[in-house]
Amino acid sequence: MSNSKTIIDIAKRTISNEADAIKNLSNLLDTNFTDAVNTIYNSKGRLIISGIGKSAIIAQKIVATLNSTGTPSIFMHAADAIHGDLGTVLKDDVVICISKSGNTPEIKVLVPLIKRGGNVLIGMTGNTDSFLAQQSNYVLNTYVEKEACPNNLAPTTSTTAQLVIGDAIAVSLLELKRFTSKDFAKYHPGGALGKKLYLRVNDIVNNNQKPEVKTNTPVKEVIVEISEKMLGATAVLENDKVIGIITDGDIRRMLNTYDNIGNLTAKDIMSKNPKTVNTDVLAVDALELMQQQEISQLVAVKDSKYVGLLHLHNLVNEGIL
C-alpha cells in the first residue's frame, strides 16, 4: 500500500495538471465564444446540450447550472438522440454537442441530423480539426495537453475543461440577463439557499405562538407564559406597546437575586428596550442582528405593533443557520 506522502503527491500532481489546463483555456477563447453566447442569449428557443460517455455527464451538470440561472436548457444523450430522442430538438433551439475528440461515431451520426433541422450547432471539443468542429457554426475549444490520468486515457483534465467552459457560458448569460438574487430565489425556493433569499421574519413568526404579559403580571404567571409558548421568552406590553422582554436568563438571574419572588411582577425583572425587527426583514438579516447583539430572541413588530417573537431555533430549523 502506498504511504500517505505518495498519495498526497499524486493528488497535488493531479490538481496542478488540471489547474494549468484550466488557466490555458483563457488563451483559447475567441470570437467563437462571444458569438456562441450571443446566439444563445438571443435565441427564442431552448438550449439543448448533448454528449456521450463522460461528456454526457458534464453536459447534464451544465444544463443544471443554466436552468438555475435563467437559461432554459435540456440534456439530450447523443446515443439516445439517434434512436428516437432527436424529437427533443425544436425549430428555434440551439444545440451544443460536447466531445473531446469530436469524432465519436454517435456524434458523426447526430451532427448531420441537427444540421438538417436548421438548428445552430455549437461544438465543444478539444480537437478543432475534428468532424464536430468542422460541422459546427461555432467551436468552443477545450483543448488540454494531457489528462491527469498517468496513462493519458481516463477523461479527467478534459472533462474539467468542459465543465469550466460550461460555467463560463452560464455566468456570461447570467450577467447579460441581469439575473439578480431575487431571480435566483425563484429557481431555488427549497433548501437553505432559497430560504436565505426569500424567507422573511413574518413567514416564521406567523407560525409561532405569541407570548406576552403586562407589566403588572405576577412572576409566576410570567414563568407559565414562557413555558407554554416555548420560545424561551415573553414580551412585556404596556398600552399595547412592547417596553421589555423577559427571557429564561432573566428568570435564572431573578432566582439568584431574590429570596422571595412572591410579590415580584414582570416589570421588576424585565430587560428594557428589547431589540426589535420588522416583519418584512429577511430572516438571514435577522440572524445577523442576533449574532451582532449576541441574543437568541428578537421582538418582531409591524408598524410598531407587537407581532410575536423570533427565536434563534426558528432559524436553525429553517436551515438559515
- Tell me the per-residue pLDDT of 279-291, one tens digit each, with 9 for 90 and over: 999 998 999 999 9
Per the CATH hierarchy, to which homologous superfamily does domain 4-179 belong?
Answer: Glucose-6-phosphate isomerase like protein; domain 1 (3.40.50.10490)
Q: Is the pLDDT of residue 209 over 90?
A: yes
CATH of domain 198-317: 3.10.580.10
DSSP string, 228-285: HHTSSEEEEEETTEEEEEEEHHHHHHHHHH-S--TT-BHHHHPEES--EEETTSBHHH
- What is the arithmetic mean of pLDDT over 222-241? 93
Would you say 188 is a known binding-site residue? Answer: no
Distance CA 252, CA 137 (A): 74
- Tell me the per-residue pLDDT of 28-83, one tens digit each, with 9 for 90 and over: 999 999 999 999 999 999 999 999 999 999 999 999 999 988 899 999 999 998 88
Confidence of residue 4 (pLDDT cuts 50, 70, 90): confident
What are the cell numbers at 209? 405562538
Which residue(s) pair with 245 in the sheet? 235, 271
pTM of the full predicted structure?
A: 0.68
Confidence of residue 193 (pLDDT cuts 50, 70, 90): low
CATH 3.10.580.10 residue ranges in the chain?
198-317
pLDDT at 187: 66
CATH 3.40.50.10490 residue ranges in the chain?
4-179
